[in-house]
């Protein structure tokens, strides 16, 4: 289970489930930042308790809940690492994942957090190049955790690789180019990107020589998590980014609407992702050849991703401030 500022903002603004807690915080004259911290960490702690049987039954593999570091710290390594430790201590549940964005500044924070024996959900990964850096950060963190005496078999991590947003951005650029060759390539970038990413995962955790030494000490592979898997283009199958991305050691955090669609008429095709890195690179080459700059695509997506999280966090603070003020007047 995952959380983010947008989810919390919607829950606080539109529902009444948090009214009693907000009233109590208002009575104690709690400031808005502390109130948001209390509400979100309490919620995640409760969710962790609900999912604890799954966590125990799967030996810690599943039944985990993510809570995000303040996205305004996305480009501050020191503060991100410090808040990750703080959130871990406040929630105080072994099935928590601390969510850290995969910005350049986030990468060392990821390693530092893992070095403390803390499980991490790395978010906002769009490019395979950045994903490889994330896997390196994970292995560096495990090395440091092991050196510090932590039981690395208790450290879990997922790498949240965003899917549908890639098609949204690339398709927009292909439409702008407008040639028949460009238009024909619409809807092909996201799955190709994910397939190349999974090939990179297999290389690091199944083939290369570095991870086996850590595995002998109890380390687990950092699972690939497919994020942004709701279909945004109505011309595409509504389970496209689920059915086509089923593979070992992967997770899919699909939205509720997509989950219902998959339960109703989804399919599973494990051959869709395995062994298709070569043809997926050819897709990327074809898209690049018609004029799409993937380096710019991924930069735009990362910048937009951070901005969306910051905007949602700001909205969450604003909504909470309004509720605190209303509670004090009542």
Bridge-partner residues for 96, per DSSP?
A: 65
Q: Which two tokens stand for residue 263?
A: 């339960």
pLDDT at 175: 98
Whether 170 and 157 map to the same domain: the answer is no
144 lies in the same domain as 210 = no
CA distance 252 to 39: 26
Same structural domain for residues 1 and 149?
yes
Residues 236 and 121 occupy one common structural domain: no
Task: For residues 254 and 272, state if they share a domain.
Answer: yes
Residue closest to 308 by CA, chosen among 4, 13, 3, 2: 4
Q: Which of the residues 14, 79, 89, 99 is marked catalytic?
A: 99
Note the pLDDT of residue 270: 78
Domain that includes residue 3, residue range: 1-162+300-330
**Which pLDDT value is given to residue 12?**
75
Judge if 115 and 170 occupy the same domain.
no
Confidence at residue 84, expressed as pLDDT on a 0 to 100 scale: 98
Q: Nearest-CA neighbor of 8 among 47, 45, 54, 43?
A: 43
The answer to whether residues 139 and 1 belong to one domain is yes
**154: annotated active-site residue:** no
Q: Give the pTM.
A: 0.94
The reply to whether 238 and 305 lie within a common domain is no
- Asked whether residue 157 falls in the same domain as residue 9, the answer is yes
Same domain for 185 and 66: no
Q: Same domain for 4 and 143?
A: yes
Give the number of domains in the chain: 2
Distance (Å) of CA 238 to CA 165, 186, 252: 14, 16, 14
State phi, psi for 179 to the nearest 5 degrees.
-75, 155
Sort residue 167 into left (φ over 0), alpha (ψ -120 to 50) or beta: alpha
Read off the DSSP letter of residue 203: I
Q: Is 185 exposed, middle or buried (0-12, 13-18, 19+ CB in 10 A)?
A: buried
Q: Residues in the chain with pLDDT < 70? A: none
Q: What CATH number does the domain containing 124 carry?
A: 3.20.20.70
Residue 269 has a pLDDT of: 81
Q: Are residues 75 and 117 in the same domain?
A: yes
pLDDT at 132: 98
């Amino acid at each position: 289970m995952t959380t983010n500022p947008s989810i919390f903002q919607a829950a606080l603004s539109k529902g009444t489930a948090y009214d009693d807690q907000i009233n109590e915080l208002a009575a104690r004259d709690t400031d808005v930042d502390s109130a948001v911290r209390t509400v979100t960490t309490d919620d995640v702690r409760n969710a962790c308790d609900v999912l604890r049987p799954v966590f125990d039954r799967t030996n810690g593999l599943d039944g985990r809940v993510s809570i995000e570091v303040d996205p305004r710290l996305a480009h501050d390594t020191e503060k991100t690492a410090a808040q990750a430790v703080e959130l871990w201590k406040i929630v105080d549940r072994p099935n928590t994942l601390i969510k850290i964005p995969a910005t350049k500044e986030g990468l060392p924070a990821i390693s530092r957090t893992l070095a403390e024996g803390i499980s991490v959900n790395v978010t906002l990964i769009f490019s395979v190049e950045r994903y490889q850096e994330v896997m390196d950060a994970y292995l560096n963190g495990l090395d440091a955790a092991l050196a510090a005496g932590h039981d690395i078999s208790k450290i879990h991590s997922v790498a949240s690789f965003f899917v549908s947003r890639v098609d949204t951005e690339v398709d927009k650029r292909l439409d702008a180019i407008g040639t028949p060759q460009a238009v024909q390539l619409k809807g092909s970038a996201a799955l190709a990107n994910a397939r190349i990413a999974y090939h990179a995962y297999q290389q690091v955790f199944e083939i290369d020589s570095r991870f086996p030494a850590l595995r002998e000490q109890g380390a687990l592979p950092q699972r690939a998590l497919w994020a942004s898997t709701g279909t945004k283009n109505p011309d595409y199958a509504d389970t496209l980014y689920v059915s086509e991305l089923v593979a070992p050691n992967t997770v899919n955090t699909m939205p509720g609407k997509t989950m219902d669609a998959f339960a109703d008429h989804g399919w599973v095709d494990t051959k869709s992702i395995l062994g298709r890195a070569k043809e997926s690179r050819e897709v990327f080459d074809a898209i690049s050849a018609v004029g799409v700059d993937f380096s710019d695509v991924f930069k735009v997506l990362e910048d937009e991703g951070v901005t969306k999280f910051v905007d949602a966090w700001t909205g969450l603070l604003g909504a909470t401030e309004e509720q605190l003020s209303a509670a004090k007047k009542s």
